[in-house]
Amino acid sequence: MALWPVSQLKHGAHPPAVTRPEAPTTPLPSPLALSARHSRRDSGVRSDSLRGARSQALLSKLQSSGLVRFDDVSSKPCLDEQALLELCDAARAGLLEGSMTEAVAEKVTRFLRAAVKDESLGIATIELSTITNTRLDKLVADLQSPENFIGTNLPHFWRDYAAAERLQRLWRARFRERYFDVDQTRYSNLPEQGLLRYVDFDDTKRGHGHLWQAVACELLSGGQGNMQFEAGH
């Protein structure tokens, strides 16, 4: 303790207090901070498992509609692209003709609801390849076309219109320019995977006949021949 001369002290005064340096201490984290830290650490694992559970739940809602199949490779349920393509063709034909069966309309409504919910939660259940192969982009576009709703018998056409509009907006935001290039992708795949795989180009017949020769073809019925779009396109 420091001693101060008596001459420096006034009557009734007290010597100034001496401040001693304190040893540095590390504050202990509070229980709330520890809980928050563990919560953030486990949030990634929980979010992944929750996302997977949500995806499985949404796919299960479509199983009764025949749009989901079991994939032997991944051992998980997935969308049946062939069944989805047939549904898109039937729905687009019904919109064009102004008469869609109730079964097809209900399937479309259920699918749109599940797809919009998936995309809104950030779950990529539907890939761009599925959209390309099943022509889902054409269906959501046709559902937003005003002339298709003239005299329509769709039970929930305004609800389907809103769902199609939102789904298209979400897909455009996720896939960006790739979504707008879907038709170009289809055109480039025509010779190998599309209808042009049954057609050969023979330039030796230039001026003497047709340059494109069908190597295998199937006659269309009267109803299919009168449609303004080809099934699957």
pLDDT in tens, 165-212: 999 999 999 999 999 999 998 888 777 766 666 777 777 766 666 777
Which tokens hold the place of 48?
A: 């992944």
> Are residue 165 and residue 131 in the same domain, yes or no?
yes
Alpha helices (runs of H) in the chain, residue ranges in sequence order: 31-60, 81-97, 102-120, 128-134, 136-142, 157-175, 177-180, 182-193, 222-225
Determine, yes or no, domain membership for 70: yes
- Domain around 135: 51-184
Could you say which residues of the chain have pLDDT below 50? 6, 9, 42-55
Beta bridge pairs of residue 212? 201
Model's pTM, two decimal places?
0.61
Determine, yes or no, domain membership for 108: yes
> Are residue 162 and residue 201 in the same domain, yes or no?
no
